[in-house]
């Protein structure tokens, strides 16, 4: 089945710096990709949903890049601020999988310090 590896597990950056989180996946049929943010003690909030047909997706203060050739998905937080401190999870949904089953990465704990 699908395997998703997420790196790094922990990331600490200064306010205003960028932070990059990367996921690699194994199933070449994967078509939908998600980034979720989880603040301490809270549930998962959707940051962005990416389709395999779009390589670059821009959100509010971040960019998601998809490289299908390398089976790599990355989240780039530009000019991080303390409010970005949270755990971030990528999730992948493959067309070959039954239902909308998501395979999650193990998460990245991001700390943004002033």
Partner 1 sequence: EAAVTQSPRSKVAVTGGKVTLSCHQTNNHDYMYWYRQDTGHGLRLIHYSYVADSTEKGDIPDGYKASRPSQENFSLILELASLSQTAVYFCASSENRGGDTQYFGPGTRLLVL
Question: In the complex, which residues of this chain contact partner 1 (CB under 8 A)?
Answer: 1, 4, 6, 9, 31-32, 34, 36, 42-46, 49, 51, 89, 91, 93, 95, 98-102, 104-107
Q: How far is the CB of 90 from partner 1 (least distance, A)?
A: 9
Q: How far is the CB of 16 from partner 1 (least distance, A)?
A: 27
Distance CA 109, CA 65 (A): 19
**8-state DSSP, 97:** S
Nearer to partner 1, 50 or 80 (CB): 50
Nearer to partner 1, 16 or 59 (CB): 59
Nearer to partner 1, 28 or 95 (CB): 95
Q: How far is the CB of 44 from partner 1 (least distance, A)?
A: 5
Nearer to partner 1, 51 or 113 (CB): 51
Residue 110, helix vs strand vs coil: strand
Q: How far is the CB of 43 from partner 1 (least distance, A)?
A: 5
Q: If we measure between CA atoms, which residue out of 101, 93, 86 comes closest to residue 44?
A: 86
Could you tell me if 94 and 27 are in contact, meaning their C-beta atoms sit under 8 angstroms apart? yes
Distance CA 113, CA 38 (A): 18
Could you tell me if 87 and 43 are in contact, meaning their C-beta atoms sit under 8 angstroms apart? no
């Amino acid at each position: 089945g699908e395997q998703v590896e997420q790196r790094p597990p922990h990331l600490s950056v200064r306010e205003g710096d960028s932070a990059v989180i990367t996921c690699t996946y194994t199933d070449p049929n994967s078509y939908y990709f998600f980034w979720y943010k989880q603040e301490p003690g809270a549930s998962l909030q959707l940051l962005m949903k990416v389709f395999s047909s779009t390589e670059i997706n821009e959100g509010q203060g971040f960019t998601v890049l998809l490289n299908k050739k390398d089976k790599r998905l990355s989240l780039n937080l530009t000019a991080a601020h303390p409010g970005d401190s949270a755990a971030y999870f990528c999730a992948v949904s493959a067309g070959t999988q039954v239902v909308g089953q998501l395979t999650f990465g193990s998460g990245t704990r991001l700390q943004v310090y002033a």
